[in-house]
Amino acid sequence: MTPPAGRDATASVATQLLMDLRHGGDTGAQATAALTDLLYPELRRIAARLMRRERGNHTLQPTAVVHEAFLRLVDERSIDWQDRAHFLGIGARVMRRILIEHARRRGTAKRGGDAARVTFDEALVAGDDSSLGLVAVDELLSRLQAIDRRAADVAELRIFGGLTVREIARELGVSPRTVNGDWAMARLWLARELAH
Amino acid sequence: MRPDQFARVREVVAGALERPVGQRQDWVTDACGDDTDLRAEVESLLALDANTPSLLATGGLGGAAWTSVLEAIAPETPEPPGRRIGPYEIVAVLGEGGMGTVYHARQSEPLRRDVALKLVRRGLDSSRIITRFEVERRTLAQLDHPGIARILDAGADDQGRPFFVMELVRGVPITEYSDVRQLSVRARLDLFLQVCHAVSHAHQKGVLHRDLKPSNVLVTEHDGVAHPKVIDFGVARAIDPDSGGDDEAPHMLTEVGQLVGTPEYMSPEQSGARPGGADTRSDVYSLGVLLYELLTGERPYQLRGLPLSEIQRVIGTEEPKRPSTVRRPSSLYPPRSRELAGDLDTIVLMSLRKEPERRYQGVEPFAADVRRYLEGRPVEARLDTWSYRTAKFVRRHRAGVAVAATAAVALIVFAATMTYQRNRAVDAERRAQAEAETARQVSDFLVGLFSQANPFVSEGRQLTARDLLDHGADRIQQDLRGQPGVQAALMITMSQAYTGLQVPDRAVELATRALDRQRELYGETHAGVATALVALAAAHAARSEADEALPLYREALAMRRALLDDGDPAIIEAVRLLALDLHTLAQFPEAEALYREALDRTRRIRPADHQDVTAALQALGGILHAQGKTDEALTVLREALERARSGQAGPIMTADILSELAVLQKNLGRPADAEPMYREALELREQTFGVHPFTAQSHNNLSVFLRGENRIEDALLHARKAVEIYRGALGDRHRDVGIAYSNLASVLKSLARVDEAEAAYRASLGAIEASMGREYWVYGQVEYNYGVLLRDAGRFAAAEPLIVRGYQLLLKGLGPANGRTRQAAEGAGELYERWGRPAQAAEYRKLASAGAGG
């Protein structure tokens, strides 16, 4: 298998970091931090490109961004399913952060705040109102985290990373069954709180 | 909402979602009982799943990323009649299951026919499902049996949701049919054999059903003759996200929160209760459940109302009742239990065994045995043998047996060591013989011990590690009468195990006897005597009798220093335990010196990355912290945590380190650093210990922290949890119960629930007095806290004796410079000031500042 075009030094670094993650402990923690830093600009780039290509006719799936990053950055021959789950998990968290930062910045800008502080591709999020919705989801996830931390984690991985139940189970170290229950609950809870 | 309430809501909601829409209301009513709050919460959530308009339509929020987030959480709505899905037109809803809705639909091209269409819920990876279905399609097409409903088509609708099209069967579930028609046992078995025939046909073509249950076996009647038809062949597999390409056990889970299949009919390997994938024997199991229900009207396990994890446990470990002993829930046409007893019982139970390899190895042999029964011939099924069940018992109680096994390993090592010591002067050959003999005795003893754990003896009750130990302790007396040395060694180990299980009374008793025995055998000064002394001291310490333990530890340490090589780990053990005891008794400087000695010695004899070094660091960090030497404590504990993170500590020790560091960070005013550590420690302990004093300690610490952070409701929750676990594990007369009560009281005080706080303080003082008497500073601290409660409630006269006495005990126990002592002096000053006695107030204020200066 030839690596897809566009895979570069970043890619081999990402693959290496994933393998470091397996060690856990300090090495693992450092690898997580490094991957987070590496994914942040990468995910933004991909999101912006997808949005330009699709011209807002189509929904931007945060999960599609994360998955594309995976395909671009990771050499699948060198990794196993556990690594994939780790990658998507970190990607989900970064994606959430990116979306929320952007949404907040827009909100701040409207209130006359400091818009220059966070740079962001304007093309990423189409409608203004979505900012409000995303911030609401973010805040709800934080609230849910206080009542049921794992359910909130599951929802985050699912909504922003598009991980499958099995992948989430691996990432969080619980059974798929538990993930299913958590997701069902988180989904309903979020839906209800949003409807308020 | 509090997390514990939320957990309950989650349980009920998850249970409801596993049921078809029509049964959810009953379930909720059942599960909530008269808890109206719970019920309201559950119903408001479930309402969203059933019929509210799509969230996408509400709120008028646009935006791309937002839409996809909403899509992820939006509820499903049933398709209206007339809507087209591919070439099919919806006629009506037939039913709703975990993985989607089944419709009656009509096909017009290329031919006109009525079909059943199953539309899978959103959230599943449709392309994967359809690909997987395509793979099996050819196989499914070969299923040609009058007892199997044909799968006709599969595809995806315009929203990308996969659907399956099947032959429409207008029948009723086999159980319902049998009851309505009042079928005899024989007629039911005939019907069942037809089902077996159909399933067996599919198995021969290489297709598993994976979701056999009465609602998937529909009976239609033609000319008065019943024809059962199995529906949904191949569907469960296509939808199961985990089947194929994966090295792990495929659990029957969908991506949207349900098990594919009703849990009651799922084999242990499918439910994830056992490792291993589904095969034909999983279908055998489900058929067994179906037969059980057909014959008794009940399912083998009552899973209704159980939390999800519990369902797995039941499926994986509990033995079903014999069908003949099931009393029917209704009087509807019960087959007579006499008919079921004997062979039929045996046949059904054989099909329901936990281990696939011990069931019928296929549907054919299962059906053959049923046929033999009907023809009055001997069946091949056999009841479980005793030896097998014993082996299984050991497996099933792995945790409990693990404790016993740890004891067992310790026994063997210990016995061997002892033999070695006894025979130092004897030549090698005789020594080897003696060792072999001791090992044999120990092994015989253990075999006897586990035989006592015969599951038949303890009918209806789960044997615990405690039971095993009790058996063992009794048998030491009888079985090893002629072997006083082995007997004493075993008693010491048993005593240690009792200490570990927090049953200190038995531990003290056994260690005392062992000590007497060792002294008789070896005289006053001997390594074996030291071992018994240590065990006895540890047992006392576990009984909150640190002062009783102290001279025993000192004697043991002196003995070991004199007798053993300088590098012997037994010296370190005694140093460490003595230090711990001194720590408990607040004799900090001597404790610190000993902890340092323990660390030095450990570093000398262990490799640099050894766990023992981590443990020694953790202990030293603790004593530094206790003395307020925070900088050094922080350095030492961080080193310990770093080591733990790189694998140089197990989860238990890691939790200890985190716990200590968390408190330290909190004391240093860094709550954001502290909280995750508290929570991680709690999580680790919950995982490792479950309901155990260590877990309670973590709840307690977290509660104290949260109260400091002014998150009082959360704090109350953890404080109550701590008291509950401590009392359950230790009874009412333990120091730690007292401390937990005191902390609970403080939380209640923050909530201005004075009466409850007062009751908790009284309970606290009672527990502390019962365990340690009234002279320790701990008692004083609680008295002081109680006094402050009364003072702040304006009850100065009642507060005075408590505060003053509390101060005096703290002064005596911890010295004038200790923070607790000074705080108490300060508090006494405040009492007198508010009471209008400035002279006394000034006196205590002076004591407080003098303490700070000195």
Residue B812, domain extent:
774-854
pLDDT at site B352: 93
Mean pLDDT on B178-199: 90
Mean pLDDT on B120-133: 60
A41 in contact with B, Cβ within 8 Å = no
pLDDT at site B152: 82
pLDDT at site B452: 43
Range with the lowest mean pLDDT among A44-48, B224-228, B488-492, B770-774?
A44-48
Whether the per-residue pLDDT at A109 is higher than 50: the answer is no
* Domain-embedded: residue B194: yes
Q: Are residues B172 and B271 in the same domain?
A: yes
Within 8 A of A146 by CB-CB distance, chain B residues are: 3
Query: Which range has the top average pLDDT, B412-421, B722-731, B833-842?
Result: B833-842
B107 in contact with A, Cβ within 8 Å = no
Within 8 A of B75 by CB-CB distance, chain A residues are: 188, 191
Structure tokens at B663: 């408190």
- The helix or strand, by DSSP H or E, that contains position B103, with its residue range, turns out to be strand B100-107
Rounded CA gap, A45 and A95, in Å? 12
B646–A147 CB contact, under 8 Å: no
Structure tokens at B682: 């709690």
A133–B646 CB contact, under 8 Å: no
- Tell me the helix, strand and coil percentages in chain B, rounded to 5: 65, 5, 30
Please give, rounded to a whole number of angstroms, the shortest distance from the CA of B158 to a CA of chain A: 15
Rounded CA gap, B10 and A179, in Å? 12
Query: Which range has the top average pLDDT, B341-350, B694-703, B723-732, B832-841?
Result: B832-841
* Domain-embedded: residue B227: yes
Nearest to B31, CA basis, from B45, B12, B46, B5: B12
Q: CATH number for the domain including B238?
A: 1.10.510.10
B13–A60 CB contact, under 8 Å: no
Q: Are residues B377 and B400 in the same domain?
A: no
Of A56, A137, A192, the CB nearest to B69: A137
pLDDT at site A157: 86
Percent of chain A with pLDDT over 90: 1
Contact in structure between B217 and B146 (CB atoms under 8 Å): no
Decide which of B357, B384, B411 is a domain's last residue: B384
Within 8 A of B55 by CB-CB distance, chain A residues are: 191, 194-195
B687 in contact with A, Cβ within 8 Å = no
- List the single residue in A with minimal CA-CA distance to B9: A185
Rounded CA gap, B633 and B335, in Å? 73
Q: CATH number for the domain including B811?
A: 1.25.40
Length of chain B: 854
- The helix or strand, by DSSP H or E, that contains position B97, with its residue range, turns out to be strand B88-97
Confidence of residue B61 (pLDDT cuts 50, 70, 90): very low
A34 in contact with B, Cβ within 8 Å = no
B306 in contact with A, Cβ within 8 Å = no
pLDDT at site B8: 84
A61 in contact with B, Cβ within 8 Å = yes
* Domain-embedded: residue B289: yes
Structure tokens at B619: 């202990």
* Domain-embedded: residue B742: no
Contact in structure between B292 and B298 (CB atoms under 8 Å): yes
B405-432 burial code (b ≥16 CB/10 A, e <16): bebbebbbebbbbbbeebbeeeeeeebe
Of A60, A182, A190, the CB nearest to B68: A60
* Domain-embedded: residue B599: no
pLDDT at site B195: 96
Whether the per-residue pLDDT at B398 is higher than 90: the answer is no
Residue B233's identity, in one-letter code, is F
B60–A129 CB contact, under 8 Å: yes
Say which residue, B514 or B23, is predicted with more confidence.
B514
Q: Are residues B312 and B266 in the same domain?
A: yes
Q: Are residues B38 and B121 in the same domain?
A: no
Whether the per-residue pLDDT at B136 is higher than 80: the answer is no
Query: Which range has the top average pLDDT, B523-527, B677-681, B819-823?
Result: B677-681
Say which residue, B29 or B55, is predicted with more confidence.
B29
pLDDT tens figures, A131-189: 456 777 788 888 888 888 889 999 888 887 777 777 788 788 888 778 877 888 888 88
Confidence of residue B194 (pLDDT cuts 50, 70, 90): very high
B40 in contact with A, Cβ within 8 Å = no
Residue whose structure tokens are 């809870």: A189
Q: Are residues B394 and B379 in the same domain?
A: no
| Residue pairs spanning A and B at CB distance below 8 A | 164
B69–A158 CB contact, under 8 Å: no
B69 in contact with A, Cβ within 8 Å = yes
B388 in contact with A, Cβ within 8 Å = no
Q: What is the mean pLDDT of chain A?
A: 68
Q: Are residues B24 and B159 in the same domain?
A: no
Whether the per-residue pLDDT at B389 is higher than 70: the answer is no
* Domain-embedded: residue B457: yes
Q: Are residues B379 and B396 in the same domain?
A: no
Contacts of B121 (CB under 8 A, 6+ apart): B76, B99, B100, B161, B254, B256
E strands within B168-321?
Answer: 172-173, 217-222, 225-230
Rounded CA gap, B835 and B791, in Å? 9
pLDDT at site B308: 56
Decide which of B327, B352, B384 is a domain's last residue: B384
B728 in contact with A, Cβ within 8 Å = no
Number of domains in chain B: 4
A176–B242 CB contact, under 8 Å: yes
Within 8 A of B68 by CB-CB distance, chain A residues are: 59-63
Whether the per-residue pLDDT at A80 is higher than 50: the answer is yes
Of A61, A130, A185, the CB nearest to B62: A130
Rounded CA gap, B256 and B196, in Å? 31
Q: Are residues B287 and B273 in the same domain?
A: yes
What string of DSSP letters covers B586-621?
T-HHHHHHHHHHHHHHHHHHS-TT-HHHHHHHHHHH
B211 is catalytic: yes
Q: What angle do CA B319, B321, B327 make, to 5 degrees?
A: 155
pLDDT at site B127: 58
Residue B356's identity, in one-letter code, is P
Q: Are residues B266 and B369 in the same domain?
A: yes
Q: Are residues B236 and B291 in the same domain?
A: yes
Q: CATH number for the domain including B574?
A: 1.25.40.10
How far are the Cα atoms of B149, B299, B408, B646 from residue B285, in angstroms, in the given order? Answer: 21, 12, 37, 45
* Domain-embedded: residue B768: no
* Domain-embedded: residue B205: yes
Residue A80 half-sphere exposure, CB side, CA atoms within 13 Å? 9
Range with the lowest mean pLDDT among B391-405, B472-486, B730-744?
B391-405
Mean pLDDT on B797-823: 88
Confidence of residue B241 (pLDDT cuts 50, 70, 90): very low
pLDDT at site B40: 85
pLDDT at site B159: 66
Residue B405 half-sphere exposure, CB side, CA atoms within 13 Å? 8
Q: Are residues B314 and B279 in the same domain?
A: yes
- Cβ neighbours of B294 (radius 10 Å): 26
pTM surpassing 0.90? no
pLDDT at site B189: 93
The SS3 call for residue B484 is helix
Whether the per-residue pLDDT at A53 is higher than 60: the answer is no
Q: Are residues B129 and B35 in the same domain?
A: no
pLDDT at site B433: 52
B14–A128 CB contact, under 8 Å: no
pLDDT at site A72: 73
Q: Exposed, middle or buried by CB within 10 Å (0-12, 13-18, 19+), for A30? A: middle
The SS3 call for residue B376 is coil
- Which residue in B157, B179, B211, B581 is the catalytic one? B211
- Interface probe for B, chosen from A165, A167, A179 (most Cβ of B below 10 Å), is A165
Mean pLDDT on B692-721: 87
